[in-house]
């Protein structure tokens, strides 16, 4: 089964674009698709995918970083997809901390990012963009040509190796073209021996474990102090 990991900031247009790409993969390539959506608290994406005949599961990470949650579950997800005889499994996750990324070595890594997020965003969002194979830029229909060009340039600076392409999540312009890249995704029977493209931050301080009170007495584990001088 082919595996594609898709990440991008909240509301960048991930679901809209994936629905459009799925449409061509289903129609032209006759692929049987599955999507697993990772989020923190709630999501209504499931319904949208299911309406298009895509087998869907949702993983809610609650008080964990969704990407940490993702990586602890991805093997089971893969097994689930193989079990259901899917041709391609796509995972959608919203990168919340900008420091984690779900991209796995060898699996097609896609980052979806929108033109409205500002030109400094490509440098800020870190590994989920920097280590992607494909960067899809959305919402190009509502900004000027100049802003599109500058934004794409900033993405190129942040990730010099990726294929950069534009897809309109509403009209589907560019989706057929982007779906050709999905067709190239590598196939997996299992994720044994695979690893993340990028280390997740060394977390686990007392706040990770549910502490809410403020003050040095309550800070334990991996604590880092700002330099305010």
Partner 1 sequence: MRVGQILKLYPYAEDFFSVLPVTPNPKVTVTEFLLGIEDEVLQDLGQGTEDLIKRFNEFMRQMEQVKKVVDPIRSITIIGGQDKCGNAEDVCLTIRAGEIICIVGPTGSGKSRLLADIEWLAQRDTPTGRNILVNDRIPDAEWRYSTQHKLVAQLSQNMNFVMDLTVSEFLQMHAESRMVQDIDTVISNVINHANRFAGEQFSTDTPVTSLSGGQSRALMIADTAYLSASPVVLIDEIENAGIDRQSALKLLVDKQKIVLMATHDPILALMGNRRLVINNGKISKILTTTDSERRNLTILEKLDQQLTNVRNALRYGESIDRLPETLIGLWGEKVI
Q: Which is nearer to partner 1, 10 or 118 (CB)?
A: 118
Residue 5 interacts with ligand GTP (CB under 6 A)? Answer: no
How far apart, in whole angstroms, are the C-alpha atoms of residue 81 and residue 54? 12
In the set 79, 82, 183, 207, which binds Zn ion (CB under 5 A)?
A: 207
| Closest CB 137 distance from ligand GTP, rounded Å | 9
Residue 156 interacts with partner 1 (CB under 8 A)? Answer: yes
Residue 160 interacts with partner 1 (CB under 8 A)? Answer: yes
Tokens standing for residue 33: 């698709």
- Contact of residue 205 among ligand GTP, Mg ion, Zn ion, none (CB under 5-8 Å per partner type): Zn ion
Residue 114 interacts with Mg ion (CB under 5 A)? Answer: no
Residues 176-205 within binding reach of partner 1 (CB under 8 A): 176-177, 180-181, 198-199, 201-202
How far apart, in whole angstroms, are the C-alpha atoms of residue 107 and residue 194? 9
In the set 58, 79, 96, 116, which binds partner 1 (CB under 8 A)?
A: 116
Contact 53, 26 (CB under 8 A): yes
Burial tier of 219 (Cβ tally within 10 Å: 0-12, 13-18, 19+): middle
Residues 7-46 within binding reach of Mg ion (CB under 5 A): 14-15, 45
Contact 164, 155 (CB under 8 A): yes
How far apart, in whole angstroms, are the C-alpha atoms of residue 164 and residue 151? 11
Q: Which is nearer to partner 1, 157 or 187 (CB)?
A: 157
The whole-angstrom distance between residue 145's C-alpha and the CA centroid of its chain comes to 26
Question: Which of 14-22, 45-53, 58-66, 162-170 is the region at the interface with partner 1 (rule: CB under 8 A)?
Answer: 162-170
Q: Which is nearer to partner 1, 106 or 126 (CB)?
A: 126
Residue 205 interacts with Zn ion (CB under 5 A)? Answer: yes
Closest to 9 (Cα-Cα) out of 99, 70, 88, 89: 99
How many residues in total does the chain contain? 229
- The three-state (H, E, C) secondary structure of 115-136, written as one string: HHHCCCHHHHCCHHHHCCCEEE
| Closest CB 28 distance from partner 1, rounded Å | 8
Using DSSP, state whether 168 is helix, strand or coil: coil
How far apart, in whole angstroms, are the C-alpha atoms of residue 167 and residue 20? 9
Sketch the per residue contact string, 27 through 46, with ligand GTP: x for CB under 6 A, - otherwise: ------------------x-
Residues at the interface with partner 1 (CB under 8 A): 115-116, 118-119, 123, 127, 140-147, 149-150, 152-154, 156-158, 160-161, 163-165, 171, 173-174, 176-177, 180-181, 198-199, 201-202
């Amino acid at each position: 089964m082919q595996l594609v990991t898709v990440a991008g900031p909240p509301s960048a247009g991930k679901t809209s674009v994936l629905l459009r790409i799925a449409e061509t993969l289903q129609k032209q390539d006759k692929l049987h698709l599955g999507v697993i959506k990772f989020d923190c608290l709630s999501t209504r994406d499931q319904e949208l995918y299911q309406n298009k005949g895509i087998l869907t599961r949702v993983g809610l990470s609650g008080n964990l970083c969704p990407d940490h949650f993702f990586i602890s579950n991805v093997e089971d997800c893969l097994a689930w997809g193989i079990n259901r005889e899917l041709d391609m499994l796509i995972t959608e996750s919203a990168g919340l901390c900008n420091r984690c990324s779900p991209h796995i070595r060898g699996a097609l890594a896609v980052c979806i990012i929108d033109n409205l997020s500002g030109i400094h965003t490509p440098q800020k969002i870190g590994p989920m963009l920097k280590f992607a194979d494909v960067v899809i830029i959305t919402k190009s229909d509502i900004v000027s040509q100049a802003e599109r060009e500058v934004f794409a340039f900033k993405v190129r600076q942040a990730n010099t190796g990726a294929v950069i392409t534009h897809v309109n999540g509403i009209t589907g312009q560019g989706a057929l073209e982007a779906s050709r890249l999905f067709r190239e995704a590598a196939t997996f029977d299992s994720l044994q021996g695979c690893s993340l493209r990028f280390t997740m931050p060394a977390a686990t301080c007392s706040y990770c474990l549910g502490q809410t009170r403020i003050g040095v007495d309550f800070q334990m584990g991996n604590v880092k102090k700002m330099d305010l001088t």
